[in-house]
């Protein structure tokens, strides 16, 4: 696997996805499988209760990924996504619409808050990414309470 973003745990620190307005502490953990696919575990809290969404990402020929849920509710849902850019401790991903979510953009980081230098680097990257432009105005920071 050549994409370093799809390994380890990332916090969603900025997003255009309305789902994260009502859920806190969003994170995604990627665990590579021997066959090149990746287990994708999304964790969050809502009203103090833990939430979990698990899927498997399959690499696509264009360098993106196809996510498919593993639960009964999400098994037939496929979401295509890709990494647009990555820097020191942050990454930008964009994903297509699914029956449950609109198309959108997530900014990942290894910590709940970006440093000033990371913000500057991230903003410069966003400015130069045509695929990010439709989502820029909708970006917000979900709540991370340090748990």
79-104 core/surface letters (b: 16 or more CB in 10 A; e: else)? bbbbbbbeeebbbbbbbbeeeeeebb
* Model pLDDT for residues 2-33, shown as the tens digit of each residue: 466 778 899 999 999 999 999 999 999 999 99
The sign of the torsion formed by the CA atoms of 101, 128, 83, 50 equals: negative
* Model pLDDT for residues 79-107, shown as the tens digit of each residue: 899 999 999 999 999 999 988 789 999 99
- pTM for this model (two decimals): 0.91
DSSP H or E stretch at residue 127: helix 116-127
The fold of 4-138 is Lipocalin (2.40.128)
* Model pLDDT for residues 59-83, shown as the tens digit of each residue: 999 889 999 888 766 677 788 999 9
DSSP H or E stretch at residue 56: strand 49-59
């Amino acid at each position: 696997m050549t994409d370093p973003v799809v390994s380890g745990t990332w916090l969603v620190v900025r997003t255009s996805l309305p789902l994260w307005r009502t859920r806190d502490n969003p994170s995604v953990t990627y665990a590579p499988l021997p066959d090149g696919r990746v287990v994708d575990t999304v964790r969050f809290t809502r009203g103090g209760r833990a939430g979990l969404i698990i899927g498997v990402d399959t690499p696509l020929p264009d360098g993106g990924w196809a996510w498919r849920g593993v639960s009964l509710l999400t098994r037939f849902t496929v979401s295509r996504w890709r990494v647009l850019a990555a820097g020191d401790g942050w990454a930008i991903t964009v994903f297509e619409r699914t029956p449950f979510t609109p198309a959108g953009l997530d900014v990942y980081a290894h910590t709940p808050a970006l440093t000033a230098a990371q913000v500057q680097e991230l903003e410069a990257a966003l400015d130069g990414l045509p695929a990010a432009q439709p989502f820029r105005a909708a970006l917000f920071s979900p709540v991370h309470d340090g748990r």
